[in-house]
Amino acid sequence: MPVSAPAVPALRAEHLSKRFSRTVAVDDLSLSVSPGEVFGFLGPNGAGKSTTIRMVLGLLRPSGGHVEVFGVPAHDVGRAHRHLAYVPADVALWPALTGRECLDLLAGVGPGTDLDYRAELVERFALDPDRRSRTYSTGNRQKVALVAAFATRAPLLVLDEPTSGLDPLMEREFRRCVTEAADRGQTVFLSSHQLAEVEAVCARVGILRQGRLVEVAGLRELRRLRRSEISVTLATPVAAGAGLAGVDGVADLQWRSPVELTMTLAGPPAPVLRALAGLDVVALDVREPSLEELFLDFYGDGDHRTTRGELRA
């Protein structure tokens, strides 16, 4: 949670639930995203990410709880949608309309569009707008929706796996656009499978698992909860143990050779550094877990999932 929560969050969900006959798609989800924040929304297929987003957009009615966009209830789409722009995971356009007609329509009916910036975005995403959308590939349809969304001045951008059809060049362009939007003060709610992308642009992430929000934290905070991996190379062999085994937070101590050791560390590194200070250290490598490792930690094997602070067996 942000330290100083502003009066009106860009997005606020409280005890949000959605049931489809027998299955529970989203279960008691509470979440708040502050204005200006770039928030990553993670989860495997079928975790309920798109269902949550469709409730935010008022396309689905929650079975329980409620969700607000800048303080406006999501079902009041006439008002709530003046504050947001959306890119769906699977962009469907009317096949007979051209890309330009789609863009014009979205701008004409939408929450206000910067037409000069839109023209720039069409260039940057290398979109040919004078083709019927019937002839567009998945990536091109996605570009139409991305250009339309980024060109708005809507304070909240809701992006549901927006880069799944883009090539690496376009993905780089997408990251730039997110950064530019954040610099303008726009809030970005990014649902994604591309962990590198989330890692590159998001400050805070929420992790969804089987419809439940299992973690919401800043990326740094999240890493701190996990163990970082420390590799040490020494100049001269030392006696086994070397006084490291008992240090606070250290585990998995392994000697690869008499002069090489690895360990994992939870919590602040000061005690370990103090213990290492007495040894003749040639090289020290501290590696923070990548988001992918964190993600796999959460989902890797459903039964043996480690919880906060615990170690993987």
Partner 1 sequence: MTAGTAPAPTTSAAGRAPEPGAAGRVVTALAVRSVRRGAVLVTVVAAGMPALVAVQHRQLDQELAGASLAALAENPAIRTLFGPPVALDDPGGFTVWRTGTAIAVLVGVWAALAATRVTRGEEEAGRWDLLLAGRLRFPAVLLRHLVVLLGAAALVGVGTAAGLVLAGTAATGAVLFGALIGGTGMVGAALGALAAQLLAERRAAAGLAVGVLLAGLLTRMVADGVPALGWLHWLSPFGLLGRSAPFAADRVLPLVVLAGTVAVLVAVAATVAARRDVGSGPWRRPGAVRPGTRELRSLPALAARHTGRPVVGWGAAVFAYFLLIGLLATTMTDFLTENPRFAELAAQAGFAELGTVRGYVASLFTVLAVPVGGFVASRVAATAADEVAGRLTLLYSLPVRRVRWLATELTGVAAGAVLLAGAAGLATWLGATWVGADLSAGAALAGVLNVLPIVAVCLGAAVAALAWAPAAVLPLGVLPAAGGYLLLVLADTLAWPGWVRGLSPFAHVGAVPAEQVDVPGLVGLLVVAAALTAAGLAGYRRRDLRG
Q: Which residues contact 106 (CB under 8 A, 6 or more apart)?
A: 113, 148
Q: Give the gyration radius of the chain's Cα atoms.
A: 23
Q: Is residue 108 within 8 Å of residue 134, measured between CB atoms?
A: no
Instruction: Give all strands of the β-sheet with 38-42 in edge-to-edge order.
Output: 84-87, 156-160, 187-191, 38-42, 204-209, 212-218
**Closer by beta carbon to partner 1, 82 or else 224:** 82
Tokens at 192, concatenated: 């994604």
Between 74 and 244, name the residue whose CB sits nearer to partner 1: 74
- SS3 string of 285-296? EEECCCHHHHHH
Helix (H, G, I), strand (E, B) or coil at 90: coil
CA nearest to 91, candidates 151, 145, 168, 30:
145
- Binding segment for partner 1 (CB under 8 A), chosen from 81-89, 191-199, 214-222, 275-283, is 81-89
Cβ closest to partner 1, residue 144 vs residue 291: 144
Minimal distance in Å, beta carbon 104 to partner 1?
Answer: 5
Residues within window 103-162 making contact with partner 1, judged by CB under 8 A: 104-111, 128-132, 134-135, 145, 148, 158
91 is a site residue for partner 1 (CB under 8 A): yes
- The answer to the question of residue 64 lying near partner 1 (CB under 8 A) is no
Candidates 38-46, 82-90, 183-191, 222-230 — which segment interacts with partner 1 by CB under 8 A? 82-90
Q: Which residues, in sequence order, are bridge partners of residue 264? A: 229, 251
Among 86, 125, 189, 298, binds partner 1 (CB under 8 A): 86
Q: Kindly state the number of chain residues that form the binding site for partner 1, as judged by CB under 8 A.
A: 45
Contacts (CB under 8 A) with partner 1, residues 7-46: none
* Strand pairing category for 187-191 and 38-42: parallel
Contact 62, 172 (CB under 8 A): no
- Residues numbered 210 to 249 that lie near partner 1 (CB under 8 A) are none
Q: Which is nearer to partner 1, 145 or 182 (CB)?
A: 145
Q: Which stretch binds partner 1 (CB under 8 A): 80-88, 115-123, 192-200, 270-278?
A: 80-88
**Cβ distance to partner 1 smaller for residue 100 or 224:** 100
Q: How far is the CB of 63 from partner 1 (least distance, A)?
A: 10
Sheet containing strand 11-20, edge to edge, reads 23-33, 11-20, 64-69, 72-73
Question: Rounded CA gap, 218 and 215, in Å?
Answer: 10
Residue closer to partner 1 by CB (options 142, 194) is 142
Nearer to partner 1, 24 or 200 (CB): 24
Residue number, 63 or 179, with CB nearest to partner 1: 63
Given the rule CB under 8 A, which of 50-58, 167-175, 189-197, 254-262 is the region that contacts partner 1?
50-58
Residue from the set 5, 64, 94, 184 that interacts with partner 1 by CB under 8 A: 94
Q: What is the largest CA-CA distance in the chain?
A: 76
Q: Is 49 helix (H, G, I), strand (E, B) or coil?
A: helix
Least separation in angstroms between CB 223 and partner 1: 34
DSSP structure class, residue 305: P
Q: How far apart are CA 256 and CA 275, in angstroms?
A: 19
> Tokens standing for 78?
């006439």
Which residues of the shown chain bind partner 1 in the complex (CB under 8 A)? 54, 57-61, 77-82, 84-86, 88, 90-98, 100-101, 104-111, 128-132, 134-135, 145, 148, 158
